[in-house]
Structure 1
Amino acid sequence: MRLRCGALATTADRTAIDLARTLPRIDVLPVLDAAIAAGVCTQGSLSAELERHSGLRGVQQARELVPLADPAPESPQESRLRLRCHDAGLPPPTPQFPVLGPGGRARRWLDLAWEEVKVGLEYDGEEGHAGPENLRADRRRHNFLQDDGWAMFYATDLDVYRDFSDLMRKVGAAIERRAAAR
């Protein structure tokens, strides 16, 4: 596309698909999620752009990941964690799931949730734990979720980038166990 100043630029859809084809797999879903969340792309516009890239290097990766794009994750790490769940064969989780308290109001939000079996998965980055007040809030939050019947799991950067198979196995076992108990 040509900008008013005369310079040529690619569209948001073209840029997102180019990145989806060429970035390392773990970095693609955060880009697609962000493009949809920003309102510059839609599932439909990404799919249409994807058709124009047929036969290009990396198009298979983009074809697999475009349907997974979701505007709900609040951080790139949440998107990456959702990709790990997908790759592990887990059922699709709901991102940013509201946990209701008394009176039906949202009291807490889970990064990823399998609501029907009450299994939650949170990304814990270092930045969220600075200071004793944050630690207290985390503990109150965990106690609220546990009291509400949630089985909670927590992922760190190591779980996302290196050794994710053990955590994914534990989350999958909890989902299966709770589904069988229903």
Structure 2
Amino acid sequence: MLPGDIVDRAGIPVTSPTRTCWDVARWLDVVEAVVVIDGLLARRIVDIPALREYALARAGCRGWRSLLRAVDLADARAESPQESRTRVRLVLAGLPRPRTQWVVSDGGRFVARLDLAWPEFRVAVEYDGFWHDDPEQFHRDRRRLNRLLGGDWLVLHVTARRLREDFDGFLAEVRAPLRSRGHRPGD
């Protein structure tokens, strides 16, 4: 460990947030490392320039490339671990990087905020978590979805089970509308 890698928290020595990101990038697969880093970014505990600088200052040491790769995939706007997992897996599968928490408006009026979106193609992915058991939330989401569909958006939904058991099928479902709406792999 280098100076600054250990900090004092209430009298307990712990690794600094940047060092923690380094460690998770070394120990976890890239998807799970990004989940942790996204959470720290969202809470403003770390920031991307500092993480890049930390990795580059340790170029040649075991783990520096892993941290850079995770940082390149990280996004402070991710709002849940499953959204992060979905986004990273889609990007690693070769899709263009989606925008997170994309706001759709119509004439300056708010329509919806989408988990993941490719606004230039009007394609979005919504992660459906456990809170969809709430009838009122379900009602609001479906009303929002109907307004999006009226605006020519295609919104695909994914669940934890689908990500776990049929990611390839879901990936094909996302690729198809992106291609039909003009995305060319390699763009």
Q: So what's the TM-score if we normalise by structure 1?
A: 0.87
Which residue matches 2:80? 75
Query: Is the contact between residue 88 and residue 165 of structure 1 (CA under 8 Å) also seen in structure 2?
Result: no
Q: After superposition, give the CA deviation of every residue in 1:11-36 in whole Å (9 maximum; x if it has no partner).
A: 11011111121123331111111111
- How far apart, in 2, do the equivalents of 1:8 and 1:53 lie? 26
Gaps of 5+ in 1: none
Across the two proteins, how many residue pairs are aligned to each other? 177
Unmatched tracts of structure 2, length 5 or more: 1-5
Q: Which residue does 1:139 correspond to in 2?
A: 142
Confirm whether residue 107 of structure 1 aligns to residue 111 of structure 2: yes
Once the two structures are superposed, residues 68-101 of structure 1 have per-residue CA deviations (whole angstroms, 9 ceiling, x without a partner) of 1111011111101001111110011000000103
Give, in whole Å, the separation in 2 of the partners of 1:150 and 1:37: 27
Structure 1 residues 141 and 46: alpha-carbon distance in aligned structure 2, compared to 1, 3 A threshold: same
**Structure possessing the higher relative contact order (Cα contacts under 8 Å, 6 or more residues apart):** 1
Distance in 1 (alpha carbons) for counterparts of 2:46 and 2:134: 38
Alignment of 1:12-161 (within 5 A): 12-51=17-56, 52=58, 54-56=60-62, 58-101=63-106, 103-126=107-130, 128-161=131-164
How far residue 42 of structure 1 moved from its aligned partner, in angstroms, is 1.2
Identify the structure with the greater strand proportion. 2
What letter corresponds to residue 55 of structure 1 in structure 2? C
Distance 1:5 1:153 in 2: 45
- Deviation track 1:83-133 (CA, whole Å, cap 9, x = no partner) reads 1111110011000000103x413221000000011000010012x212432
User: Who is 1:169 aligned against?
Assistant: 172
Residue in 1 aligned with 2:3?
none
Q: Quick one: distance in 2 between partners of 1:4 and 1:132?
A: 42
Overall identity of the aligned pairs, in %: 37
Q: Is the 8 A contact 1:85 1:168 kept in 2?
A: yes
Q: Which moved more, 1:84-93 or 1:16-25?
A: 16-25
**Distance across 2 between alignment mates of 1:108 and 1:124:** 15
SS in 1 for 2:14: coil
